[in-house]
């Protein structure tokens, strides 16, 4: 993956005006560099009532220009409700269930900067947001409580109700952030394949998510489950990390279960026999850790509905557990706070119905003067509560460091 470091942080007068304006915008990491989407002509706030209507608009639109698309996110609760699951026992923060935007401007940051827009001469109102931190981070679950939930889920695993389950912990502080500064700072130290940032008038999201959940191009669909995490240390490299994963029974079990589940999810929407392992068990490197990854490909059933693809693939299994539906029920009964964006999905749907979505992890949500960072690690029979609790911190560390 090319990473044009000498270009992506270079001063550009138009970008600087945009960054320091009150204009809502989205930055998205793509294979060749970054895309910035802005000058939104439409903003759709999703609810349980209008979600089906949202998918239908793609049956009526034509794809003629690169801006013929909607880009945004589905929250965790909305995705659960879409497949008939409730989260009624949880404390709600009243954050949006999902928002999608219709961009009229795309700025491509590659070796050069290219602006595709009819609005690039629009007057921009300066509105610089300085980061202000008013309180230290606190966890919503201390270790004793985490250990109790861990023991309960371990019991459910022994009883055969689930084979793997992910416990979510949150770090929260009182703060206002400059999301653009946070995003580029994060990209310098921990650039990830599915990283993104959303800045709107009343909220922002900064994410270094590594996992592609859906990559649909025509009738072909790919998914890239990540299951397996190893903390970096001196003397460790990608080759040694791969050897560790292959020789570790717990990590191998976890990985195989998630790969099998996502193959099953794909099989519901793909032609019989078309779902195949495209690239098996390889390692991706990040700032603080290594991940164990597999790439899966399938051929979609002819004229498959967009909503059916979303319902089959989301929420992404690698950050939920296995089997998906029963595991989601257990999680929603035990977790006493809503997940908001965490383990939802960010991405785009083009008017030709091509789409790409990640799983929202490694993310900061800043809303109502609070920042929220969530992390989760997997419970299987070979897990220990202390190791999984500590793994959550490792996953959140690069985001927590932005506030220093």
For residue 124, what pLDDT is reported?
Answer: 73
How many other CB atoms are there within 10 angstroms of residue 402's CB atom? 19
3-state secondary structure of 394: helix
Q: Domain residue spans in the chain?
A: 5-403
Query: How far does CA 318 lie from the centroid of its chain?
Result: 11
Is the Cβ–Cβ distance between 340 and 309 less than 8 Å? Answer: no
- What confidence score (pLDDT) does residue 10 get? 63
pLDDT at 40: 96
pLDDT one digit per residue (tens) for the chain, 404 residues: 344 344 455 667 888 888 988 899 999 999 889 999 999 999 999 999 999 999 999 998 888 899 999 999 999 999 999 999 988 777 788 899 999 999 999 999 988 889 898 776 667 777 777 899 999 999 999 999 999 999 999 999 999 999 888 889 999 999 999 999 999 999 988 788 899 999 999 999 999 988 899 999 999 999 999 888 888 888 898 989 999 999 988 788 888 888 999 999 999 999 999 999 999 999 988 877 889 999 999 999 998 999 999 999 999 988 888 888 999 999 998 888 889 999 999 999 999 999 999 999 989 999 999 999 998 887 878 789 998 999 888 889 889 999 98
The whole-number pLDDT of residue 133 equals: 92
Structure confidence at residue 7 (pLDDT): 44
Can you spell out the DSSP letters for 173-190?
EEEE--HHHHHHHHHHHH
State the CB neighbour count (10 A cutoff) for residue 249.
10
What residues contact residue 90 under an 8 Å CB cut-off, 6+ apart? 332, 335, 336, 337, 338
Please name the CATH architecture into which domain 5-403 falls.
Answer: 4-Layer Sandwich (3.60)
pLDDT computed for residue 127 by the predictor? 74
């Amino acid at each position: 993956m090319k990473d044009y470091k000498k270009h992506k942080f270079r001063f550009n007068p138009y970008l600087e005006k945009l960054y320091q304006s009150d204009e809502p915008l989205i930055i998205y990491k793509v294979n060749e560099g970054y895309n910035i989407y802005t000058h939104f002509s439409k903003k759709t706030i999703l609810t349980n009532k209008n979600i089906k209507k949202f998918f239908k608009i793609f049956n009526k639109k034509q794809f003629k220009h690169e801006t013929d698309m909607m880009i945004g996110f589905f929250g965790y609760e909305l995705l659960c409700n879409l497949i008939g699951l409730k989260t009624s026992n949880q404390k709600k923060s009243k954050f949006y269930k999902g928002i999608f935007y219709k961009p009229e401007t795309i700025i491509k940051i590659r070796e050069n900067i290219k602006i595709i827009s009819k609005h690039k001469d629009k007057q921009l109102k300066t509105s610089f947001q300085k980061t202000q931190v008013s309180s230290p981070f606190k966890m919503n679950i201390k270790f004793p409580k985490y250990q109790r939930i861990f023991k309960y889920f371990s019991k459910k695993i022994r009883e055969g109700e689930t084979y793997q389950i992910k416990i979510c912990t949150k770090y929260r502080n009182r703060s206002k952030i400059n999301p653009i500064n946070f995003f580029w700072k994060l990209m310098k130290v921990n650039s990830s394949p599915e990283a993104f940032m959303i800045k709107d008038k009343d909220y922002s999201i900064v994410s270094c998510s590594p996992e592609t959940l859906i990559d649909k191009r025509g009738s072909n669909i790919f998914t890239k489950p990540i299951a397996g995490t190893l903390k970096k240390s001196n003397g460790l490299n990608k080759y040694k990390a791969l050897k560790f994963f292959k020789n570790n029974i717990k990590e191998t079990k976890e990985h195989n279960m998630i790969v099998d589940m996502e193959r099953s999810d794909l099989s519901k929407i793909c032609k019989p026999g078309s779902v195949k392992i495209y690239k098996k068990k390889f390692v991706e490197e990040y700032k603080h850790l290594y991940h164990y990854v597999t790439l899966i490909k399938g051929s979609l059933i002819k004229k498959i509905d967009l909503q059916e693809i979303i319902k089959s693939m989301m929420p992404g299994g690698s950050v939920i557990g296995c089997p998906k539906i029963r595991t989601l029920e257990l999680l929603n009964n035990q977790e006493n706070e809503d997940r908001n964006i965490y383990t939802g999905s960010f991405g785009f749907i083009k008017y030709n119905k091509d789409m790409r979505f990640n799983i929202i992890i490694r993310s900061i949500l800043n809303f109502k003067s609070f920042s929220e960072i969530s992390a989760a690690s997997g419970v299987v029979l070979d897990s220990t509560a202390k190791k999984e609790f500590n793994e959550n911190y490792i996953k959140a560390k690069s985001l927590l460091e932005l506030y220093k």
